[in-house]
Structure 1
C-alpha cells in the first residue's frame, strides 16, 4: 500500500472516530416560567381553599373532615358496623355519585353518571374520588369537596367541567366485593 493511500485511510479513520460536539442552545432559559407557574398554582390553591373553608363555615350542621390528601368531606350516612371494610387494591366498589360546582349547580346527575363498578386503583378515576372511595364502607354516603387539583385539574373533563374547577360530589357506596387474589 502506498503512503498516500495509507494517509488517506488513517485520516478518514481519525475523522470518523471523532465524537460529535453537542449543540449549544440558541437561548438559555431561566426558571422564571416555572417560578411563575408555581406562584400561579399556589395562588389558585389558596383561593380554592378559602372558598371551601367559606362553604364549610356556612354548613355548621355537617361535621367536615379534612383528608390527609387535600380534600374535605362529611358523612351523610355513616355505617358503624366494624366488620365492614373499606376497599383495598383490586376490590370492586359499586357506587354512584353526582358532580356539582361548589355553589351547588349540578354538572352531572346520578342518572347521567349511572352506577359504576370500579376496580380500586386499577382503572381511571379522578384522584379525589379514588382517594375518597378508600375512606368509605358499604352503605355509606359522603359529600366531598375537592379542590381542582384533586378533581379534573387544568384539563377539566373535556366535556362539562372546565379548567381548574373545584367540585362537590355526593357519593354512595352500594357494595364492596373483595378481590380474592390479593
Structure 2
C-alpha cells in the first residue's frame, strides 16, 4: 500500500508542471507589409502621372491642388462676393454630379445618379467628394481629379467602377442648408 502511495505522489507532483508557451511553426517577417507599401507607392506614382497628363493637356483651365491629395478646377465659379458660405459639418447640401474616367469615358452621367442630398460628414460618400464639396459655394460647378485612394479605392463601387481607378468628377452644388436652419 505504501508503494502505491509513493507512486501516486510521484505522479501527482510530476503532473503539476506549469504550462509552456507554444511557439508558431513558422515565423513571418514584415516582408508582406514592405511589399504592400512598395506596390501602393508604385500605383500612386502611376496615377499621379496620369492626372498630371490630364492637367497638362487641358490648357484652357487652371487646376489647383488640394491639401487632401486631389486636383480641381472651376467650370463655373461664384462671382457673388456676398456668397462666402461653404458647407460645414452637419449642413445639408444638394448637388448633381457625373463620374468619368480620366480619358473622359462616362461612367455615370449627370442625372444617372439622381440629385443627391447629403448631410456633410454624417453620411457615406467617397472621401474625395466629401472633401471636395467643402471647397465649393452654392451655384458653383467644379471638376475634380481624384486618385483611386480618394475615390473608390481597392474595392471600386462594385458596379461600374473597378479596382484602383482614378476618376474625374464634375459636381454642381445646388443648395446649402446650414445646420442651424435644419434644427429650427
Interval containing the TM-score (normalised by the shorter chain): 0.7 to 0.9
Instruction: Name the residue aligned to 2:134.
Output: 134
Q: 1:106 matched to which residue of 2?
A: 106
1:177 aligns with 2:177: yes
Q: How does 1:82-161 map to 2 (within 5 A)?
A: 82-161=82-161
CA-CA distance at 1:79 after TM superposition: 0.9
Q: Report matched runs for 1:26-65 at 5 Å.
A: 26-65=25-64
Q: TM-score, length-normalised on structure 1?
A: 0.87
Matched residue pairs, number?
171
TM-score, normalised to structure 2, is 0.87
1:75 aligns with 2:74: yes
Larger CA Rg, structure 1 vs 2 = 2
Quote the offset at 1:113 in angstroms.
Answer: 0.5
Q: Find the residue that maps to 1:30 and give its secondary structure.
A: coil
**Is this contact kept in 1: 2:83–2:137, CA < 8 A?**
no
Q: d(CA) in 1 for partners of 2:129 and 2:75?
A: 16
SS in structure 1 of the partner of residue 162 of structure 2 = coil
Q: CA RMSD for the aligned pairs?
A: 1.9
Going from structure 1 to structure 2, the CA distance change for 1:87 and 1:22 (only over 3 Å counts) comes to farther
Within-5 A mapping of 1:5-24: 15=16, 21-24=20-23
In structure 2, the gaps of 5 or more residues are none
Report the Cα distance in structure 1 between the residues aligned to 2:150 and 2:170, rounded to whole angstroms.
15
SS at 2:111's partner residue? Answer: helix
Summarize deviations over 1:95-114 as a string: whole Å, max 9, x none: 01000000000001112101
SS in 1 for 2:135: coil
